[in-house]
């Protein structure tokens, strides 16, 4: 058993006395000693570790463990005293229940979890509230689409109640999937506090927010031009529209004067809207048309009289005929013109997009048919002047993919001017900080427009507007009747709208149709825009309008992590609603994470088939690997590309993967194996006895470790996630494994065991926020008596141990090692074959002689200030000296000469440029002394290299 290198499988059953034998940990069984007489010696739990890190079982094990131990819950849940301490809270940007999570979500939630885990380890009272969004129009559209596919039915076949029931079913299914995905990712959310934007708690917040705004007169109802989806029969937001370039025509026709004295030529891309014209506009300074201003025209087909108006905003004299037909009810610019000139707004469309009775003979026609019929009519009556081809942009609905019609309809609006102003101030005065800072501009620009927000949607899925219309609004006694009935009700507010309707808003209780005798109350059919409930998210999830403990302890939240495309839609509105409802901002910081694109710079989407499913990646590479790569991708850039490739699994399923995730998996495996190797040498719980670290390499690794702790802290404070990942990666791989472990592996003493344990222990802490599973697992194997990584204290940098001099000295030593290895490489000398080396240097290398010999496979190593160059040796310039490697029999003079020549050339050209720089008077006069010194030193080094290489070259000839 002695000398067997594998870690010994020691478990509870055979734990006992241990000893070290040639560096291996060995159990000593002394059966004749009674158990209670055995002295309490350090107990080892050495588990047999696989040569490869196997993420699957380990991940599920720790998910279960953390959950059982309630580690994701805030400290104040178990210990009310913790309420007083500093808090760190985050609310999740609630994913839409339209579908499963994609890689963008994985990135977003990884970042949140990193921040949560880091702050939890800092000892703060930490809460992350998870949840999902009902995503009104998107979800309803998905369910309707499926309904049509599977059952060939429309929502009207089902009715409102049944459709909503179906959507709830869909929601349950996808909410469960989303939750499970988030859990598998390792998200340490407080799952008991999961919310849904349509659940009773959020619904209550919506009712209160709406009621308050309504009472303040900030919510109003009005006829406005909206983007109308003729397929879904609903208004859609500007941002739910995309534009497509289509080939159309530009028709020019005669607009006849009412007195028959002539016509104005007018051009249009949408001739069917002629039927809704209420004016023709010309530029006030247009000599061609000045004389027509104020005259009356006749609308073709319907013979309505309309005026010729002058408008310098709408009309561009250079474009088309220089005259514009004005259709206020069906075009945004014309609508604005209509408002300026007080023109009638004539609606010519039905909800389904067909022409209504205002269109006269064309009534009932729709879309292209209506257009063709009108054009034909114009042609027949001799009014058509010409037809040109014309490319134009057509707005289409994101959801139904059908053409959007600007449409005049009754909608609910929120007055934005004052609310927006206040929300802008929060960012302008630095209360809310964006990272990266440039995104603040995005926010301010959008709010600066102060457009009223259309908050109603003609959908069935969502928060139904808590307004009841009084049907008998013509009754003159209505006002007093309402007043009388609701006299004692502070939860009711009502008023008469601009169109004469009486509107009653109820705070909590739904009103009955026959609530007031003789009157009929009908609830508004519309639901609220999804973003209305999302805007309340930070405080609705914590129970507002109730005065909850949660709000007390965790509001405002610490940071919002989200994507840049919803800065205006969501971030801005949360600030507005939080200021309005809570009287404070909802979060101190907004971190905008990059958008993930595929290798060709395209967004990932179902239709392109380039999406990567996080679950596939977790399955193949592990959650830690996924998280590590997500973290590495988080730079200040606004996008991050991920080359995607197809892969066919054993079960025949085709999935998208990316080689990038190998970095994360390999890194985990590297750490795993370092730990596996060290598992035999772990002697204590990671505590460090600094006094035992006397060697150069010990001091060096301690210095590096503490530097890394400091660097990571700075990176995390500044949301520099990719930097964080890179720092810990290189420390583990290069410093700890490639260098320190390689130095120590031949002979691990108790002291170095202690330092190695300490380093590894600290690495587990530092890496935990990114890779929670493997760190927790390794900790349980190596340090079974310590507290779990998730909860224990984040390491503090010990500045006293950071030593730049030692780090420099160590680099010089490694330059020697690398010089020898380089010669080995050049001559293909097998690693097993020992060679000799001689260093001519004034430096005292006594304390690292063995280290150098070990790492570069030397049979002998001499050093000294006056040593001669051995015959037949290769020479390499090292810091402060030269290194010679005798290679009798294999030395290739040509090869050496070529290399030396190249080296000389390089050093001399560098030296020349440095000399030039240093001889520049202005440089010497202006540059800081440190820079000049640096350049002088560089010059000396280069000259030294050139000089020594020249000597070596010369010597080659005389061997």
Partner RNA sequence: GGACAAUUAGCUCAGUUGGUUUAGAGCGCUGCCUUCACACGGCAGAGGUCACAAGUUCAAAUCUUGUAUUGUCCACCA
- Smaller CB separation from RNA, 160 or 938: 938
- Smaller CB separation from RNA, 663 or 836: 663
- Write the CB contacts of 23 (distance below 8 Å, at least 6 apart in sequence): 680, 681, 747, 748
CB of 807 to RNA, least distance (A): 11
- Smaller CB separation from RNA, 867 or 927: 927
Nearest to 270 by CA among 368, 344, 336, 365: 368
- Smaller CB separation from RNA, 144 or 903: 903
- Smaller CB separation from RNA, 496 or 666: 666
> Which residues, listed in sequence order, are joined to residue 349 by a DSSP beta bridge?
355
> How many angstroms separate the CA atoms of 879 and 282, rounded?
82
CB atoms within 10 A of CB 260: 8
Is there a contact between 327 and 273 (Cβ–Cβ < 8 Å)? yes
CB of 650 to RNA, least distance (A): 15
Nearest to 847 by CA among 952, 719, 694, 725: 694
E strand or H helix at 192: none
Is there a contact between 147 and 165 (Cβ–Cβ < 8 Å)? no
Residue that is written with structure tokens 């959007």 in the block: 404
CB of 812 to RNA, least distance (A): 13
> How many angstroms separate the CA atoms of 89 and 558, rounded?
5
- Smaller CB separation from RNA, 96 or 268: 268
User: Sign (positive/negative) of CA torsion 938, 941, 945, 950?
Assistant: positive
> How many angstroms separate the CA atoms of 737 and 718, rounded?
28
CB of 548 to RNA, least distance (A): 34
CB of 321 to RNA, least distance (A): 8
Phi, psi of 877, rounded to the nearest 5 degrees: -80, 130
- Smaller CB separation from RNA, 635 or 786: 635
E strand or H helix at 757: helix 750-767
CB of 125 to RNA, least distance (A): 30
Find the length of the chain.
Answer: 959
- Smaller CB separation from RNA, 239 or 428: 239
- Smaller CB separation from RNA, 81 or 600: 600
- Smaller CB separation from RNA, 219 or 440: 440
- In angstroms, what CA-CA distances link 654 with 106, 605, 648, 665? 20, 16, 4, 21
Residue that is written with structure tokens 């101190």 in the block: 588
> How many angstroms separate the CA atoms of 502 and 486, rounded?
14
> How many angstroms separate the CA atoms of 71 and 792, rounded?
11
Question: Which is it for strands 131-132 and 125-129: parallel, antiparallel or unpaired?
Answer: unpaired
- Write the CB contacts of 591 (distance below 8 Å, at least 6 apart in sequence): 111, 435, 559, 560, 561, 562, 719
CB of 288 to RNA, least distance (A): 13
The Cα angle at residue 832 between residues 827 and 837, in degrees rounded to 5: 60
- Smaller CB separation from RNA, 149 or 922: 922
Is there a contact between 766 and 728 (Cβ–Cβ < 8 Å)? yes
CB of 815 to RNA, least distance (A): 10
> How many angstroms separate the CA atoms of 69 and 450, rounded?
49
- Write the CB contacts of 332 (distance below 8 Å, at least 6 apart in sequence): 225, 406
CB of 888 to RNA, least distance (A): 20
- Smaller CB separation from RNA, 432 or 876: 876
- Smaller CB separation from RNA, 396 or 849: 396
Is there a contact between 680 and 756 (Cβ–Cβ < 8 Å)? no
CB of 956 to RNA, least distance (A): 19
CB of 749 to RNA, least distance (A): 16
CB of 883 to RNA, least distance (A): 13
Is there a contact between 586 and 89 (Cβ–Cβ < 8 Å)? no
- Smaller CB separation from RNA, 378 or 582: 378
Render 558-611 in DSSP notation, one character per residue: EEEEEEGGGIIIIIIHHHHHHHHHTSS-SEEEEEEEPEEEETTSPBP-TTTT--
> How many angstroms separate the CA atoms of 95 and 194, rounded?
12
Phi, psi of 102, rounded to the nearest 5 degrees: -115, -175
CB of 824 to RNA, least distance (A): 6
- Smaller CB separation from RNA, 201 or 336: 336
CB of 307 to RNA, least distance (A): 16
Nearest to 139 by CA among 162, 102, 114, 168: 168
CB of 951 to RNA, least distance (A): 20
- Smaller CB separation from RNA, 607 or 922: 922
- Quote the strand ranges of 605-746, DSSP E: 639-642, 645-648, 654-657
CB of 634 to RNA, least distance (A): 9
Using CA atoms in the order 541, 547, 551, 556, what is the torsion angle rounded to 10 degrees? 100
CB of 316 to RNA, least distance (A): 4
Q: Is the peptide bond before 494 cis (omega within 30 degrees of 0)?
A: no
Is there a contact between 766 and 732 (Cβ–Cβ < 8 Å)? no
> How many angstroms separate the CA atoms of 697 and 739, rounded?
9
> Which residues, listed in sequence order, are joined to residue 223 by a DSSP beta bridge?
410
- Smaller CB separation from RNA, 931 or 940: 931
């Amino acid at each position: 058993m002695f000398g067997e290198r594998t870690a010994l499988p020691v478990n509870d059953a055979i734990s006992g006395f241990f000893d070290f034998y040639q560096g291996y940990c060995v159990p000593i069984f002394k059966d004749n000693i009674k158990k209670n007489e055995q002295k309490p010696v350090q107990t080892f739990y050495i588990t047999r570790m696989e040569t490869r890190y196997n993420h699957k079982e380990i991940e599920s094990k720790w998910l279960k463990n953390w959950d059982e131990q309630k580690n994701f819950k805030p400290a104040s849940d178990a210990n009310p005293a913790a309420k007083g301490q500093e808090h760190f809270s985050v609310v999740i940007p609630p994913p839409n229940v339209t579908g499963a999570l994609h890689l963008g979500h994985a990135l977003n939630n990884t970042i949140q979890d990193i921040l949560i885990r880091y702050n939890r380890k800092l000892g703060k009272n930490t809460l992350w509230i998870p949840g999902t969004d009902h995503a009104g129009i998107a979800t309803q559209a998905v369910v309707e689409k499926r309904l049509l596919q599977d059952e060939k039915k429309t929502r009207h076949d089902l009715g409102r109640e049944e459709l909503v029931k179906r959507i709830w079913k869909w929601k349950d299914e996808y909410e469960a999937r989303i939750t499970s995905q988030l859990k598998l990712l390792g998200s340490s959310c407080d799952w008991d506090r999961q919310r849904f934007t349509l659940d009773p708690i959020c619904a209550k917040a919506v009712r209160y927010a709406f009621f308050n705004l309504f009472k303040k007169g900030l919510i109003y109802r009005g006829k406005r031009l909206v983007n109308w989806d003729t397929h879904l029969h609903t208004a859609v937001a500007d941002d739910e529209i995309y534009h497509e370039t289509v080939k159309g025509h530009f028709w020019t026709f005669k607009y006849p004067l009412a007195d028959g004295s002539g016509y104005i030529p007018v051009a249009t891309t949408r001739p069917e809207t002629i039927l809704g014209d209420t004016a023709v506009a010309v530029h006030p300074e247009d000599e061609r048309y000045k004389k027509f201003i104020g005259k009356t025209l006749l609308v073709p087909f319907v013979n309505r009289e309309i005026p010729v108006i002058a408008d310098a905003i709408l009309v561009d004299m250079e474009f088309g005929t220089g005259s514009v037909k004005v259709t206020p009810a069906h075009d945004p610019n014309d609508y604005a013109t209509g408002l300026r000139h007080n023109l009638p707004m004539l609606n010519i469309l039905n909800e389904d997009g067909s022409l209504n009775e205002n269109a006269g003979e064309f009534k009932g026609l729709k879309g292209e048919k209506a257009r063709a019929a009108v054009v034909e009519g114009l042609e027949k009556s001799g009014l058509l002047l010409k037809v040109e081809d014309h490319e134009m942009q057509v707005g289409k609905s994101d959801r139904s993919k059908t053409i959007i019609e600007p449409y005049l309809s009754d909608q609910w609006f929120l007055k934005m001017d004052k609310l927006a102003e206040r929300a802008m101030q929060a960012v302008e005065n630095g209360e809310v900080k964006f990272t990266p800072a440039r995104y603040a501009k995005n926010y301010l620009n959008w709010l600066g427009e102060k457009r009223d927000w259309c908050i109603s949607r003609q959908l069935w899925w969502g928060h139904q507007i808590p307004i009841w219309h009084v049907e008998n609004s013509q009754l003159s006694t209505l006002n007093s009747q309402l007043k009388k009935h609701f006299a004692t009700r502070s939860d009711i507010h009502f008023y008469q709208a601009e169109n004469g309707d009486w509107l009653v808003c109820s705070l909590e209780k739904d009103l009955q149709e026959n609530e007031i005798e003789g009157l009929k109350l009908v609830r508004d059919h519309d639901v609220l825009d999804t973003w209305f409930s999302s805007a309340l998210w930070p405080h609705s999830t914590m129970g507002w309008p109730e005065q909850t403990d949660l709000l007390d302890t965790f509001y405002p939240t610490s940071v919002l992590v989200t994507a840049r495309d919803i800065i205006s839609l969501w971030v801005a509105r949360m600030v507005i609603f939080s200021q309005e409802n809570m009287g404070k901002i909802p979060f101190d910081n907004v971190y905008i994470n990059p958008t993930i694109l595929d290798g060709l710079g395209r967004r990932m989407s179902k239709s392109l088939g380039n999406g990567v499913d996080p679950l596939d990646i977790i399955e193949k590479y592990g959650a830690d690997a996924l998280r590590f790569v997500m973290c590495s991708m988080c730079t200040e850039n606004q996008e991050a590309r991920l080359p995607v490739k197809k892969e066919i699994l054993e079960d025949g399923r085709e999935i998208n993967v990316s080689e990038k995730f190998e970095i994360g998996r390999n890194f985990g495996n590297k750490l795993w194996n370092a730990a596996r190797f060290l598992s035999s040498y772990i002697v204590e719980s990671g505590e460090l006895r600094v006094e035992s670290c006397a060697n150069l390499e010990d001091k060096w690794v301690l210095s590096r470790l503490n530097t890394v702790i400091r660097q990571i802290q700075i990176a995390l404070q500044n949301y520099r996630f990719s930097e964080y990942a890179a720092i810990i990666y290189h420390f583990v791989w290069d410093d700890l494994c490639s260098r320190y472990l390689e130095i120590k592996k031949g002979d691990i003493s108790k002291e170095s065991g202690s330092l190695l344990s300490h380093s590894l222990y600290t690495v587990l802490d530092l890496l935990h926020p990114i890779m929670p599973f493997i760190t927790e697992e390794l900790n349980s194997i190596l340090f079974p008596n310590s507290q779990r990584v998730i909860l224990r204290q984040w390491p503090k940098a010990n500045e006293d141990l950071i030593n730049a001099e030692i780090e420099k000295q160590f680099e010089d030593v490694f330059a020697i090692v690398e010089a020898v290895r380089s010669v080995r490489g050049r001559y293909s000398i097998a690693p097993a074959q020992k060679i000799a080396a001689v260093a001519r240097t004034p430096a005292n290398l006594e304390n690292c002689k063995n280290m150098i010999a070990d790492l570069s496979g030397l049979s002998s190593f001499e050093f000294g200030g006056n040593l001669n160059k051995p015959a037949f040796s290769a020479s390499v310039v090292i810091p402060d000296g030269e290194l010679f490697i005798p290679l009798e029999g294999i030395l290739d003079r040509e090869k050496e000469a070529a290399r030396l020549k190249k080296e000389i050339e390089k050093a001399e050209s560098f030296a020349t440029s440095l000399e030039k720089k240093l001889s520049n008077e202005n440089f010497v006069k202006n540059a800081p002394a440190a820079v000049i010194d640096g350049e002088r030193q560089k010059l000396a080094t280069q000259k030294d290299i050139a000089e020594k290489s020249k000597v070596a070259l010369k010597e080659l000839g005389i061997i």
